[in-house]
Amino acid sequence: MPFGLYKHLRSLGIQVDKPHGHPLKKVCTVKGSFWSGHRAESVGFIQITGNNIAYINVIEDCYGGYQYTSTSYYLEYLVPISEIPSSLCRATLSIKKRGLLRRKVVDIEWHGGTLADKLNDDSTLNQDLLMAFQLDKPIGITVTPEPIYRCIRIETNTHLPSRSLFDCLCRIAQLSAENVAEVKSKPETVLFETKIDINSGSTDAKVVNCRVTDRYVYINSREPLQIDWYLVEDCNVVTSVGELGMVSHSTVELRYLDESGHRRKVEFKMQTYDAACLDNTLRYSYPSDISR
């Protein structure tokens, strides 16, 4: 394990272990490539016991192409969650500094939606973070959901946390899990609803309902399809023009990830106005705390 993280955590009184295998190893697949000159991938896991954080994922970050000239490490703190409907746990820490030469952290603020509001309301957490940043170098903190892998990822740009900072991250993990539970307990809100043509032009053609809520996209075809909003990747609309330049209909290709992380697509036809409304809903409506 790089930079003695295992030993460092034990010196802080944190109960750690080396897990057998990597139960969440796919959380950080290789990011970037040789062609981009940037590569980031997991180089090991540490298991945490008796805590809101279950695993620490060590990421090796390399720049420079074929012979990487710069290598650094950062940590991701993973919080397993049984189900994350939509992006219900997204927040980014913003740091405000003051001063010309020795810039001092004077305030922090969270952005991202319902979770950010919950974090901003925890004055004790933010005061503890301010104190930690005054004693040590301020760090970036980003909370993102990983619904495919059933966990919440708390990403930082540091590799050796202090005890006070680790306690703050545990509090963030707790509030993130609570936020998911609270939002899941609320009823869904319907954002858009229309009719679509499945298998148009074939003997199996059928008109079915399509509904977009603040959590899912529902298509009530012969085999009903429910797509988590967070897993929708693209909505491509192609408009057909009929005789005399009249617009007749639009074909929509919806690309998304399934529960295993495989890319899928579903294609259907619908009225052009409704297609534009569907596209706008998916691109510009931000249910819960989704940021695109």
pLDDT in tens, 19-43: 665 556 556 555 555 555 667 777 7
Average pLDDT over residues 225-246: 77
- Between the alpha carbon of residue 29 and those of residues 59, 62, 133, 140, 229, the distances in Å are 10, 14, 30, 21, 22
β-strands 38-48, 31-33 pairing: antiparallel
101 vs 183, more confident: 183
120 vs 184, more confident: 120
Domains of the chain are: 2-184 (no CATH), 190-283 (2.30.29.30)
Task: Please list, in sequence order, all residues whose beta carbon lies within 8 angstroms of the beta carbon of residue 246, skipping any fewer than 6 positions away.
Answer: none
Average pLDDT over residues 80-105: 71
pLDDT for 120 equals 93
CA distance 231 to 254: 11
- Between the alpha carbon of residue 223 and those of residues 143, 210, 218, the distances in Å are 34, 13, 11
pLDDT for 112 equals 77
β-strands 190-198, 247-257 pairing: unpaired
Q: Is 196 exposed, middle or buried (0-12, 13-18, 19+ CB in 10 A)?
A: buried
**Contact predicate 168/154, CB 8 Å:** no
- Between the alpha carbon of residue 214 and those of residues 104, 238, 263, 281, the distances in Å are 40, 25, 22, 10
Residue percentage of the chain with pLDDT more than 70: 78
284 vs 91, more confident: 91
74 vs 148, more confident: 74
pLDDT for 20 equals 62
CA distance 1 to 73: 11
Please write the tens of the pLDDT for every residue from 114-158.
888 899 999 999 999 888 877 667 678 899 887 777 788 898 887
pLDDT for 147 equals 72
Average pLDDT over residues 86-101: 72
Q: Is 102 exposed, middle or buried (0-12, 13-18, 19+ CB in 10 A)?
A: exposed
The H or E element that residue 183 is part of is helix 163-184
pLDDT for 180 equals 83
CA distance 27 to 151: 9
pLDDT for 193 equals 92
CA distance 205 to 126: 56
Most confident stretch, 54-63, 127-136, 233-242, 272-281: 272-281
**Contact predicate 1/46, CB 8 Å:** yes
Average pLDDT over residues 238-265: 78
Confidence band of 288 (pLDDT split at 50, 70, 90): very low
Please write the tens of the pLDDT for every residue from 201-223.
777 788 899 999 877 889 988 78
